[in-house]
Structures are given as structure tokens and as C-alpha cells.
Structure 1
Amino acid sequence: MFLVAGRMMGHSFLHGGPCLSGISTAIIHVLFGGSPETATIQIKDCPDVDIRTTIQLLEGTADLTEQEKASVPELALSWDLPGVTQTNRKWLYERLLFHAVITRTSRQVKQLRKGLKETLVWPLLVERPDIIPLFLPRESETAPSCESILERIVWPAKELDDDDDEECSLEDQCRVAGFLRSFIENASCEQRKALLKFWTGWEVLPGEMSVEVVNSQSFPKSSTCFEVLRIPARYQNYESFFVDMQACLTSIDTGFGLV
């Protein structure tokens, strides 16, 4: 599975596709030949929430409860490490974290590296380490800029026909499109990612995204398969538009705005 994942990552990068974001910097360090012992590991690098919670019990100097004293040795003994004492608490915390993040993933990292080596991207990454942050970007750096979003939008351009009462007027279309442009220009990184996910179903910027201004009294909605955002023409001020867009963006995990 990780061999295939490595191939997919390499080919996606070579062909201009999306890059995989959010990989632990400690894993990236080991993946490209760094010594495991010199990797900088943080508690958030531990992928298993239950194990992370148990390891976090060793942070600080507060006394452990009887239940906590039982859970920590259970994890430690399963990894051939001693139980916790007053003198080895910090050491045990570091060893458990190292094992959870580095040791338990060593086989997967080797398979991932093998998959990358089967693509032509591996020599580039080895010779040009400065490319690695582009190949495996941080999660906070994956949101497209407002300019890149705006240039992909196909704005509404139809004028009202005399015999068509369903179309919104050009004035409505321009006003609402202006509200959307203002929203994008002032959006935070997280808001831009949420908008893309609401609009297209995921956070990767497509080639084109369409906007339609419709006669409706509901919230803005999206057709993610066709990457179309449908905004009601009823908005007369930016404040009401902003409030409704925020409500929609918080619904992306439960129905893409169909609230």
C-alpha cells in the first residue's frame, strides 16, 4: 500500500497534480535519509490518538492517578520499555514518543521511499533538497492565494432576456459577484480552504470554477461534481452575505451547505 502511495505521490508531482500535505517533519527527515535519532519529534506527530493521550500523561511533574499509573506501564511493557518512575519519567516520555512516531513507521517509510524511487522524482529530491518543501508542503501552506482562486472563476455574464423571467438581472449578478470577490480577497487561509471544499468537494484548486446567481431565498449552495457555486440574488449588503457564507462553510462536513 505504501509502495503504491509513493508511486502516486511521485507521478502526481511530475504531472502537476496535488501534493500530499501534512506529513510529520520527523517522518520527512527520516524519509530522505536523515538519522532517526536526530529527528525533531512533537507529540502531535503521533498518529494514534489513544497512544498520544497515554504518552501525554508523562508530561509535566504532576502525580499520576492509579488509573494513569496502570495505562502507562501497559503501553511501555508492550514496547519492551520499563515502567514509569520518578527518575525516568522524562526519558520514558521521549522513548515512547520516538517508538510511536519513528520505530513503528519504519517499514512504511521504507516502502514509501521505494515507491518514490520508482518514479523520476526521486533523483530530483535527492539532488535538490530545496524542492522537498514543495513536494511535501506543510498543511498551513496548501491553501491557494486569493489571486489564484479569482483567476479560475468563471463569473456570471448572462444578461436578462425580455422573455425570460427566471434569469437574475445584470445588476443582481454584478452585486452578488462583487460580494463573493470581496469575501475571497479578505478570507483567511482556513476560510479559503473551506470555500474550495464547499465549492468543489475538496481543497485542491481545479482548472475552472463557475458562479451562478439564482432567484432563491435559501442559502448559497454548490454542485461539487460540476464545481458550480449557486448564490441567491437576494443579498443587498455584504454583511448578510458574509454571515450566510460563514454558515455554509461550517457545514461542509455535514452536507456542503444544504442546511
Structure 2
Amino acid sequence: MPKLFKYCVKFKLFSVTTLTYFFSLLDWYTICDASKAISRCADHFLQIHAMENPLLLKMDLRDSPAEKDMALISFYKRPNVQWACPLNCRLEGDVAVGLGVNRFFFSTVLEKLKSGFSINFGNYIVTRLFEGEPGHWVPSASHFLVESDMFLVAGRMIGHAFLHGGPRLSGLSPAVIHVLFGGSPETATVTLEDCPDLDIRETISPLEGESRLSDTQMERVQSLAYSWDLPCPTENNRKWLFEKLLLHAVLGRVARQIKQLRRGLKETPIWSLVTRRPDAVPLLFPREEAFLCPEVVLQHITWPETDDGSDEDDDCSKETRCRISGYLKQFIANATPPELKEMMKFWTGWENLPSSLSVDIVHGKYPTAATCYEMLRIPCHYRSYKSFSDEFLACISSTQTGFGLL
């Protein structure tokens, strides 16, 4: 029996409404809509552990990039953690508190999984856990990362972000996802684009065709085949050898990494979801990153009232509110996908689009945001689109410095 339900029974806190709500969360594995099942599943596990001690995640914005990344890694390296417990995030050196700070952390965590951590692992300034091109990412073949449990950390990060409705890890190779959730490597669909090593890709690609291999090509293929305990190419086995070399280049060299990533996922409720709802996997691990569309963003915004109302201040008159709102509409309509992504992170704390966004025209020097309430506050002093656009771009580009420092 879930802990929350036991607590309600023990202290006689339950009611018909409480029981109805609690049991409504249990139907996530029967809901037809996979996206609703994901949300309901996360709510279910969060409610079960709602009465437990919260997890505390701290980061000092005054630290170096490496120190900030190490704070994240240290948090997720802790053993025997119940990741569905409540979460308190704190930004040292910043006055911000609340849900917006949590969003900031999850956005940062998923961005680091994609772009790399600013930590020197193996003589690299930035350490990437995944390699290759977007849509075909595979785990890094670095044994040092495996020995450091970095893919266990990655699995915990992905599962923890799922619990709190955070961004998803997009871009993984379908072959990696297939094996990650129990599929056999031999039944995975592997393509040349899945091979992150361009030298290996160039070496084995001639085997895919029917043209005769040159002496140089034959020598390179033989050297690679021998290093992986495979026979040298012949006219009869070249197609078979191509598939074996490609399979090993993509999946064979990273079997331990995938296994460790799976262990991390299993420590979080995301594993219960994907085992019961395989249809949720494409939504949790989308092939491509979902770009924000200006038209969709504009539809989610609640704009300031443009009637005269009771405000007699000339600086915030109807004409002023219309002018400033028009500047923001023009900016969104012309923004690039990366600019829209940064705007959403500035506005809400992460790049996920909420059901509603609010805009307020206020007295002030620079645009600010109340991320917990998805509220964007824009000063009313702008008299031209250029001045607004220049300062707004500067503000939304500062999301990595926190909130109170804006």
C-alpha cells in the first residue's frame, strides 16, 4: 500500500475527494493517450513520496563552470536515493527561490547531457557523454566514463527530470534506445549515421557497395576487422562483414555504457513507465529536439489589458501597453529557434512550453521574469523596437547566471 495512503488512513485524513484523487493517479498504465500517461505516472510517484524528507540540490553561481558541473554530478552520484522525494533547489549567490529554480536546474542538467560537462575527463576541456550527430547519438566509448559511473549519473538525471516534467533527452540513436529497453543488438536497426567515429565510418562504408576495394581500402578494412576478431573481407562475406563491423562500432563498443545507463533509469520511476507503457518511449526519448514555433508560443500568451481601465499613468497608458506588447510579438515572430528556447528559459526556467504565459507592462529598467508564475515583466520605457530587441536579447542570453543577477 503506498505510503501516502497509509498516512491518510493512520491519521484519518482521507476523504472521498482524497481517495478519488489518489486512485485516479493509479490509472496511468491504462490511459490511451501516452502523453497523459507520462504526466499521470510522474504525479503518482511524487504523491507516494510527498511526505518524505526533501532532497537538497545546491549550486553556487559564483563558482567556475567546472565547480558548478561537479555540484550537479555529486548530487546524482549519491547512492540509495529515492528520486521521487520532494526537491528543494538552491542557488547560492542568488535571491531566487521556488519552482523556477527547480526548472533552471533541470534545464541545465539536460543541456549538460547534450553539450557536455565542463570537467576534464581524459584531457578534454569539455566531457561529452554522447557522441555523433543529432538523432544518432550513442554513448561515448570512453572506459574512464564508465569507471566513473557517469552513465549511471546520466540515467538518474533523465529519470529525475521525467518526474518533475522537465526537458527530455532528444537525439539518441534508435538502435541505442532499442537495446536500452531490452532489445537484442542483433535485431537493432543500425545505419552508418549511427557510427560516431568518422574514420571507422569511412573505413567500412566501401563494403556496403559492390565496387572492388582498392589496396588501401582493403588494408584498412583488414586492420579494423583483425582488431575486432573478425575475418578479412572477401567477395562472399563483404555484406556480412559490413554489418558486423557497423554493429560493433555502434553498439558493441558501448555495451557497458548502455547497461550502466539502464541501471540509472531503473533507480527512478521512469523504468516502471516504459516497461508498462512502451508507447511512451518515443515521447520520453524523442528522435529530434522539439523546436518552439512562434505561432504556438504566441497562442499561449495572456496579454495585458489594452482598455483604459483605472490606470491613469501616462507611461502605462493604453497606447504604451499596446506598443510594448507589439514589440514582444514582433520579437517572437522573428526569433530563431535558439532565441525562442533562451526566451522560454528566461521566462519560465526551462524550455518547456507551459499551458499559459503571462505578460505585464511595468516600471523598471530591464525585462525580468517571475519563473514560478510564468510571468514576464517588461518595462514601459521603450520607444523603439530596436532598443527593446537589443536589451531583451541581452537579458534572455543571461539565463546561465541565475535569476536575481538579471
The answer, yes or no, to whether TM exceeds 0.5 is: yes
Q: Give the aligned partner of residue 252 of structure 1.
A: none
Letter in 2 for 1:149: V
Deviations 1:22-47 (A, max 9, x none): 11111111111112211111111112
Matched, 1:143 2:291: yes
Q: Residue 219 of structure 2: which of 70, 81, 97 is its match?
A: 70
Q: Residue 120 of structure 1: which of 262, 265, 269 is its match?
A: 269
Q: State the alpha-carbon separation in 1 of the partners of residues 213 and 389 from structure 2.
A: 50
Q: Residue 88 of structure 1: which of 237, 241, 265 is its match?
A: 237
Give SS of 1:33's match: coil
CA contact (8 A) 1:46 1:52 kept: yes
Q: Give the aligned partner of residue 17 of structure 1.
A: 166
How much does 1:133 deviate? 1.1
Q: State the alpha-carbon separation in 2 of the partners of residues 122 and 156 from structure 1.
A: 43
How much does 1:85 deviate? 2.0
Q: Give the aligned partner of residue 108 of structure 1.
A: 257
CA contact (8 A) 2:221 2:232 kept: yes
Q: Residue 194 of structure 2: which of 20, 39, 45 is its match?
A: 45
Q: Cα 1:214–1:197, aligned 2, differ >3 Å: closer, same or farther? A: farther
Letter in 1 for 2:263: K
Q: State TM-score, norm by structure 1.
A: 0.68
Q: State the alpha-carbon separation in 2 of the partners of residues 118 and 103 from structure 1.
A: 24
Q: Cα 1:152–1:51, aligned 2, differ >3 Å: closer, same or farther? A: farther
Q: State the alpha-carbon separation in 1 of the partners of residues 227 and 377 from structure 2.
A: 55
CA contact (8 A) 1:155 1:177 kept: no
Q: Give the aligned partner of residue 182 of structure 2.
A: 33
Q: State the alpha-carbon separation in 2 of the partners of residues 79 and 96 from structure 1.
A: 8
Q: Cα 1:152–1:198, aligned 2, differ >3 Å: closer, same or farther? A: same
Matched, 1:204 2:354: no
CA contact (8 A) 1:154 1:211 kept: no
Q: State the alpha-carbon separation in 1 of the partners of residues 286 and 275 from structure 2.
A: 16
Q: Number of matched residues? A: 215
CA contact (8 A) 1:3 1:114 kept: yes
Q: Give the aligned partner of residue 236 of structure 1.
A: none
CA contact (8 A) 1:150 1:181 kept: yes
How much does 1:99 deviate? 0.7
Larger mean Cα displacement after TM superposition, 74-83 or 147-156: 147-156
Q: Which runs of 5+ in 1 are unaligned?
A: 164-168, 185-190, 228-259
Q: Give the aligned partner of residue 134 of structure 1.
A: 283
Q: Cα 1:139–1:211, aligned 2, differ >3 Å: closer, same or farther? A: farther
Q: Give the aligned partner of residue 12 of structure 2.
A: none
Q: Cα 1:209–1:83, aligned 2, differ >3 Å: closer, same or farther? A: farther
Q: Cα 1:134–1:218, aligned 2, differ >3 Å: closer, same or farther? A: closer
Q: Which runs of 5+ in 2 are unaligned?
A: 1-149, 306-312, 354-370, 401-406
Identity over aligned residues, as a percent?
Answer: 48
How much does 1:125 deviate? 1.1
How much does 1:118 deviate? 0.8
How much does 1:111 deviate? 0.5
Deviations 1:164-221 (A, max 9, x none): xxxxx7676455444334446xxxxxx53x3335645999347558596675589854
Q: State the alpha-carbon separation in 2 of the partners of residues 117 and 23 from structure 1.
A: 18
Q: Give the aligned partner of residue 250 of structure 1.
A: none
CA contact (8 A) 1:54 1:71 kept: yes
Q: Give the aligned partner of residue 188 of structure 1.
A: none
Q: Cα 1:13–1:35, aligned 2, differ >3 Å: closer, same or farther? A: same
Give SS of 2:208's match: coil
CA contact (8 A) 2:342 2:351 kept: no
Larger mean Cα displacement after TM superposition, 66-75 or 77-86: 66-75
CA contact (8 A) 1:10 1:120 kept: yes
Q: State the alpha-carbon separation in 2 of the partners of residues 64 and 214 from structure 1.
A: 68
Q: Give the aligned partner of residue 225 of structure 1.
A: 398
Deviations 1:76-101 (A, max 9, x none): 11111122222221111101011111
Q: State TM-score, norm by structure 2.
A: 0.45
Q: State the alpha-carbon separation in 2 of the partners of residues 119 and 182 from structure 1.
A: 39
Q: Give the aligned partner of residue 241 of structure 1.
A: none
Q: State the alpha-carbon separation in 2 of the partners of residues 49 and 209 from structure 1.
A: 46
